Amino acid sequence: MIPQKFEYTAPDSLKSVLQLLETGAKPLAGGMSLIPMMKLRLATPEHLVDLGKLKELNYIRESGNAVHIGAMSTHFDIETSPVLLRKCPLLAETAADIGDLQVRNRGTIGGSAAHADPSADYPAALQALEARFVLIGADRERTVSGAEFFADAFTTALEPGEIVREVIVPIEEPGTGVAYEKVVQPASGFAIVGIAVRIRRSAGKITFARIGVTGLSNHAYRATAAEAALAGKSGSAADVQSAAALVTQGADANSDLHASADYRKHLAVVHAARAIATALSRSA
Amino acid sequence: MATTIAEIQKEKQVGKRLRRREDPRLITGTATYVDDIQMEGMQYAAILRSPHAAAKIRSIDTKLAEKAPGVIAVYTGKDTEKVGAVPCGASLPGLRVPHHNILAVNRVYFVGHPVAVVVAQNRYLAQDAADLIEVDYEPTAAVAEPEKALASGAPAVHPEWPDNVAFTYHQDGGDVDKAFAQAEVIIKQRITSQRLIPMAMETRGVVAEFRAADRQLNLYTSTQIPHLVRTLVASMLSLDENRVRVITPEVGGGFGSKLNVYAEEALMGFLAQKTGKPVKWIESRRENFLCTIHGRGHVDYYELAAKRDGTILGIKLKIIQDVGSYLQLLTAAIPTLSVLMMPGIYNIPSIRADIVGVFTNCMPTDAYRGAGRPEATHGIERMVDILADELNIDPAEIRLKNFVANDKFPYATATGLMYDSGNYAAPLKKALDMVHYKKLRQEQAEARKQGKWLGIGISTYGEICAIGPSPATPAGGWESATVKVEPSGKVTIMTGACPHGQGEETTFAQIAADELGVSVDDVLVVWGDTAVVQYGIGTFGSRGTAIGGTAVYYALQDLKEKIRKFGAVLLEDDDVALADGKVTSKKTGQSKSVPEIAAAAYRAMKLPPNTEPGLVSTHFWEPPNFTFPFGTHIVVTEIDGETGDIKIRRYVAVDDCGNQINPLIVAGQVHGGVAQGLGQSLWEQAVYDDSGQLLTGELTDYAVPRAHMMPWIEAEHTTTPSPVNPLGVKGVGEAGTIGCSPAVVNSVVDALSPLGVRHIDMPLTPEKIWKLLRKGA
Amino acid sequence: MGVASHFDRRPGAPNARPLPIPLSSPSRKRPDFGIVSLANSLCWGYAVKISCKINGKSYSNEVEPRLLLIHYLREVLHLTGSHIGCETSLCGACTVDVNGKAVKSCTMFAVQTDGANITTIEGLAMDGKLDPMQEAFWNEHGLQCGFCTPGMIIASKQILERHPNPSEDEIRHGLTGNICRCTGYQHIVNALKAAASAAQK
């Protein structure tokens, strides 16, 4: 219930934050995962650098064919962002499914991504969106893909001293149908599995499909075999089923109190089919 | 039409949906729960608990902790060994009661077992210091499941009792051997009621303040039973009972988990004595999951004998009760309630029950909402459904056939109870009408043709409430009330009950308002302070209104007599009537109001002969019997054939709790009870792994119902007053929980019955259902 | 390898390991962790000064960084209306409004509220007149033991703010972050409906 002692700094410039991170301080974003872990003394940082005063990381803006989302944008910001609702509805839909009202008011996309909980919601959408992550350190900045970023359970491409500066998601081309399907772990509200789908058709044939999967294994991934199976198909019920059956391909399914590996895989397949069908129904 | 003030006053308050009188402080955040108490110089305690389910303690090093900032003292089991044991209140022949020290001495028996305590100047420093205590454990083998604990070669929870048997209990009624010999059909089924975590929103908490010069201990504790805590903690600490004052401020829910005496209550008293300053301890949620009693924990083996026409002849039941590591206050008594209730509301002439209470390296089980009756109701209601399925009789029909008939009351059960009153078919018929049962069965047949899974589950439950007559209750089963009319005419009720959400501050005022003809607003209800309120028992077992309210009622009758007597003197007429808040002379028609009479009673200028001044009356009411509410819950479920997800399409609850003092409050009790029943049916389960680690140790893994998980509950009632008390009330606190789980499971089993599914143990997780669907397909 | 559970403390559980946080740089000046006695505060060790507005009143205190907002409200300011029901940010009993957003005050440090405008349950009733949401909870019997109620009311106000005419589904999903163990939520749903329709009038 009581965190261990730590030092606290809340700079108002990114530069100062990055300098402090160089000294080994730990960043605090929304705190929705970190603070409970600190209270249970599972996390014991000696120095916290609060990013809460960084206005420069709190934005959602359109630029070219992408939307740039500052790391400190809250789930509520994302769920209600007019830009995202119009241009990248998958992310807004996913954000609305995270945790609860209070968590969405505080939790941030950067913090959630950096925590890399294997059953978090965002990673499914971010994989399906082929999001890019801009990581920044005191003397460096780099951009990585979702596949690089989500390395393992609670492990990302972030190196010591780095934070997520922004997440870049594409503006959907007109006619793209999207959907997020989630099986909720009833106690925690996290995803037992979550499937995010984007799909486009042209002249009755699927020309584009992206499927992100979270919750199933140690990290979210793109179900490329299932995506490939959809390409060129009409999107019939049979097409959907046979593609969905491939979403677990290559994934090492987790097993826990709330779902065995077999059941998780099964849920992934069922909900992939449903998400694909929903996305198709929303596509032009 | 205009209503006159006089008419409003005449309107009966009992039976009205009054909003509650306790709410203003609760909705404004000004109520005082234990953790809200702050005192000058108050210190905080943090308890170090065992991470092992079974281990020897080789040594404890507290040096670093003692030197940590802000630390006042650190104590271990060696220091507290002289404090009396945590009490076991149940008595059964041959009961093995392990000595339950308030801090572990030499050995730990469950994860969370308190090992040492730190007192520091604030809770942060106390926690910091607790982390610095080093305990050298020698882990030993643990056992966490009762059936495994009974197997030969299982690790002994208490080395002195290698068979892990805490007690056995046997009860016979009728001629069960004959019943089974005559049976045309015998059904056997193993049915479990899983371990549950009560999860009151307010965790436990204690503030202890010791006044050395007076040898007076003031103990603020979140409990359902302040007077029993006073008696027992005084004894544990060798203090005079009348110098221990137990105060229960606002209590944030109990559900039976605070119907107990816990190590920490005596421990805080010990610390306050040792340190000379007030000490506060507030349980964390993790501690609450590990160290506050759990509920249920049954493995039941049922055998039911019947004729082919559906007539039930007898039941045999073997209960394996997971006791946990120790016997808390009522641990051993809980499964005996299951035995009493095992025939349900059916005319079953013969029963045989055997209980074996089994030690495991887990938190003790004890009373949790329903306490023994949900297990029994779940068992009989499941067995009746299985019988109906076996005989291809409609589950509603088979129930109607076996109900105790209306003309059989009072009805003596084979388990030795006397059911007070009942009309069991009435709620069943009402519920069947509400769901359009015949049409629903047709729809089900259609759905099945289309490969859809639609289930209809009926539970016609009965329960034992108003617990209970003293011979049947470990610490006395009566309740007390003092009613005073103050000199100003305001009315104060002091009840021995200890409400913590049940609304008796309102319902008792409604009773008094009607009896005295005063406004509800003139009545104050006081409880939960042993220095203020006469000895009482407390609030549990759906007894608050049925016993506590009846004590209030009888105290009021006595008081009314006094009021009439004083009124007669003032009016100089022996023939007076008390009505509408005034005493009226029949001769002259003149009257005196209750406030006028109260003023005169205290002023005592003109006392009636042989009369003491004042208007106070105390009544201790011993109920002649339990009460026996009943009802029908019907649950309609739809199952997702792909995922096993269960959707509750309708939840209909028709409860008969006798007369209702406040229907709004009754509805709230039903809704809340159903929520906890649904919790058990679908989501909740305390899971220990084989080494005795609690895997569901936080809200992250133990799923209690949230708003979006609950269906709309259509709650209706029938009314069959109880003859046991003059209010005609039966009790409703546990009905929702007791009626719920069999209706849910029956519904899901019914949905899956085309697959040959006969029984599923709770919780009905989607994965379990999916496995059945997969096997069937 | 499977992830057994969030916040799993068992040895070997994947998330039981401490986060990989290097020690802070020795070159930087360490704060003084000696005992500093500060009036009316929970603070031991180095403190940070914060100023915030709570229920319309300005407060300024020195607080230890690890002091949780809920403890600041309850123990330092004696605003005990908000409650603590868990340590994993899942029960919602501690919900307060910070800068117009309902948040769980057990999952925020007091230092983070420097400059903030906070409303707790104690700040809702004005001049003895209950807030309409309080009134609705009372009228509809939306509470029993009352422990979850302050957080429930603050969250409910946010739901109505965002959905002035909420469906039952919006109400129920809006309340996901608040556990009530007594009411089964039905009367709470009624309370929100009643408050919404009162506001429409």
CA distance A128 to B307: 62
* Residue range A114-169, pLDDT digits in tens: 999 999 999 999 999 999 999 999 999 999 999 999 999 999 999 999 999 999 99
Q: Which residue has the higher pLDDT, B225 or C8?
A: B225
List of chain A residues whose C-beta atoms are within 8 Å of the C-beta of residue B643: 183, 266-267, 270-271
Per cent of chain B over pLDDT 70 is: 99
Measured between CB atoms, which of C25, C48, C103 is closest to A106? Answer: C103
Residue ranges of A 127-166 with Cβ closer than 8 A to chain C: 153-154, 160
**Averaged over B212-223, what is the pLDDT?**
97
Question: Which residues fall within 8 angstroms of residue A113, CB to CB, at 6 or more apart?
Answer: A71, A122, A123, A126, A133, A149, A156, A164, A167
CA distances from C142 to B501, B669, C86, C180 (A): 11, 11, 21, 10
Q: Taking Cα atoms as reference points, which of A4, A3, A156, A9 lies closest to residue A71?
A: A156
Name which residue leads in pLDDT, C13 or B85. Answer: B85
Residue B225's nearest CA partner among B12, B499, B443, B3 is B499
Share the mean pLDDT of chain A: 96
Q: Which residue has the tokens 């028709």?
A: B654
Helix (H) or strand (E) holding B776: helix B766-776
* Beta-ladder partners of A27: A49
DSSP states of A130-190 as a string? T-EEEEEETTEEEEEEHHHHEEETTEESPPTT-EEEEEEEEPPPTT-EEEEEEEEPTTT--
Residue C75 token pair: 């123990």
Question: Could you identify the residue written with the tokens 């163990």?
Answer: C181
| Pairwise CB contact (< 8 Å): A183 & B643 | yes
Q: Residue B474: which pLDDT band, with cuts at 50, 70 and 90?
A: confident
Residue type, C114: D
- Residue-level pLDDT at B611: 85
Subunits close to B (at least 3 CB pairs below 8 A): A, C
Q: Which residues of chain C have pLDDT under 50?
A: 1-43
Strands B350-359 and B165-173 come out as antiparallel
The predicted pLDDT at position B777 comes to 61
Query: Which residue is it, tokens 């106000």?
Result: C157
Chain C, residues 91-130, CB within 8 A of chain B, namely 91, 93, 120-122, 124-125, 130
Distance from CA of A123 to the nearest CA of C (A): 16
- Please give the pLDDT value at position B635: 98
A31 contacts in C (CB within 8 Å)?
107-109, 112
How high is the mean pLDDT of chain B?
96
Rounded to 5 degrees, what are φ and ψ at A108?
Answer: -120, 160
Pair B74, B133: CB distance under 8 Å? yes
Predicted confidence at residue C40, as pLDDT, reads 38
CB contact under 8 A, A5 and C25: no
Q: Which sign, positive or negative, has the C-alpha torsion B556, B562, B567, B570?
A: negative
Residue from B767, B768, B771, B774 to probe the interface with A (highest A Cβ count within 10 Å):
B767
Largest CA distance in chain C: 64
Half-sphere exposure of residue B750, counting CA atoms within 13 Å on the CB side?
33
CB neighbours (10 Å) of residue B645? Answer: 16
How is B165-195 classified by DSSP, letter by letter? EEEEEEEEES-HHHHHHH-SEEEEEEEEE--
Using the beta-carbon criterion (under 8 Å), do C178 and B200 form an inter-chain contact?
Answer: no
Q: What is the mean pLDDT of residues A169-175?
A: 96
User: Can you give the pLDDT at residue C30?
Assistant: 37
Alpha carbon of A129: minimum distance to chain C alpha carbons (Å): 25
DSSP characters for chain A? --PPP-EEE--SSHHHHHHHHHTT-EEESS-TTHHHHHHTTS---SEEEE-TT-GGG--EEEETTEEEEETT-BHHHHHH-HHHHHH-HHHHHHHHTSS-HHHHHH-BHHHHHHHT-TT-SHHHHHHHTT-EEEEEETTEEEEEEHHHHEEETTEESPPTT-EEEEEEEEPPPTT-EEEEEEEEPTTT--EEEEEEEEEEEETTEEEEEEEEEESSSSS-EE-HHHHHHHTT----HHHHHHHHTTTTTT-----BTTB-HHHHHHHHHHHHHHHHHHHHHH--
Percent of chain A with pLDDT over 90: 99
pLDDT tens-digit readout, A217-240:
999 999 999 999 999 999 999 999
**Length of chain A as a residue count:** 284
CB contact under 8 A, C141 and B29: no
Residue A257: phi, psi to the nearest 5?
-50, -30
Q: pLDDT tens digit string along B429-466?
A: 999 999 999 999 999 999 999 999 999 999 999 999 99
Distance CA B621, CA B624 (A): 9
Q: Three-class SS of residue B254?
A: coil
Q: Which amino acid is at A11?
A: P
Q: Which among B128, B695, B699 has the least Cβ separation from residue A257?
A: B695
Inter-CA distances, B697 with A133, B191, B290, B442, C12, Å: 35, 25, 7, 45, 16
Interface of C with A in 129-148 (CB under 8 A): none
CA distance A92 to chain C (A): 16
Q: Is C156 on the interface with B (CB under 8 A)?
A: no
Q: Are B741 and B673 in contact (CB under 8 A)?
A: no
Question: CA-to-CA distance for A73 and A94, rounded, in angstroms?
Answer: 14
What helix, strand, coil percent values describe chain B, rounded to 5?
35, 25, 40
Please judge whether C7 and B698 are an interchain contact, meaning their C-beta atoms are less than 8 angstroms apart. yes
pLDDT for residue C19 = 31
**B95 in reach of chain C (CB within 8 A):** no
Could you tell me which of B22, B14, B671 has the C-alpha nearest to residue C138?
Answer: B22
Segment A187-210, tens digit of pLDDT:
999 999 999 999 999 999 999 999
Per-residue model confidence as pLDDT tens digits over C147-157: 999 999 999 99
Q: B707, C178: Cβ pair inside 8 Å?
A: yes
Residues of A at the B interface, defined by Cβ within 8 angstroms = 1-2, 4-5, 40-41, 183, 185-188, 257-260, 263, 266-267, 270-271
CB contact under 8 A, C174 and A101: yes
> d(Cα B99, Cα B115) in Å, to the nearest integer?
15
- What pLDDT score does B472 carry? 87
Q: Evaluate whether A191 touches A120 at the Cβ level (below 8 Å).
A: yes
In this complex, do B128 and A2 lie within 8 Å of one another by their Cβ atoms? yes
Contact status of C175 with chain B (Cβ, < 8 Å): yes
Q: Which tens digits make up the pLDDT trace of B671-698? A: 999 999 999 999 999 999 999 999 999 9
Where are the strands (E) in B643-760, listed by range?
A: 646-656, 713-717
Asked whether the predicted pLDDT for residue B371 surpasses 60, the reply is yes
**A50/C112 CB distance under 8 A:** yes
Contact between B719 and B660 under an 8 Å Cβ cutoff? The reply is: yes
> Is residue B593 within a helix (H) or strand (E), and if so which, with residue range?
strand B591-593
Please state the rounded mean pLDDT for residues B2-26.
Answer: 78
Three-class SS state of B274: helix
SS3 B265: helix
The mean per-residue pLDDT over the stretch B318-335 comes to 98
pLDDT greater than 90 at residue B374: yes
Q: Per DSSP, what are the bridge partners of residue A198? A: A178, A210
Q: What is the CA radius of gyration of chain B?
A: 28
Q: Can you give the pLDDT at residue C43?
A: 47
CA angle C93, C99, C105 (to 5 degrees): 25
CB contact under 8 A, A258 and B701: yes
3-state secondary structure (DSSP) of residue B606: coil
- Counting Cβ atoms within 10 Å, is residue B573 exposed (0-12), middle (13-18) or buried (19+)? middle
Least Cα distance to B274 among B531, B40, B76 occurs for B76
User: What does the alpha-carbon distance between residue B326 and residue B104 come to, in Å, rounded to a whole number?
Assistant: 12
B40 touches chain C (CB under 8 A): no
Nearest to A118 among C3, C90, C104 (CB): C3
Q: How far apart are CA B262 and CA B280, in angstroms?
A: 15
Q: In the beta sheet, which residues pair with residue B45?
A: B119
**Higher-pLDDT residue of B610, B3:** B610
DSSP conformation class of C168: H
8 Å CB contact between B507 and B523: no
CB contact, 8 Å: A263 with chain C? no
Question: Smallest Cβ distance to C120: which of B29, B251, B699?
Answer: B29
Closest listed residue to residue B33, CA positions, set C88, C76, C85, A36: C85
DSSP B403: B
ipTM of the complex: 0.97
Contact B24/C at CB under 8 A:
yes
Q: B306: which residues sit within 8 A by CB, 6+ positions away?
A: B183, B184, B185, B186, B187, B312, B313, B387, B391
Q: Write the single-letter amino acid at B80.
A: T
Which whole number is the average pLDDT over B59-73? 97
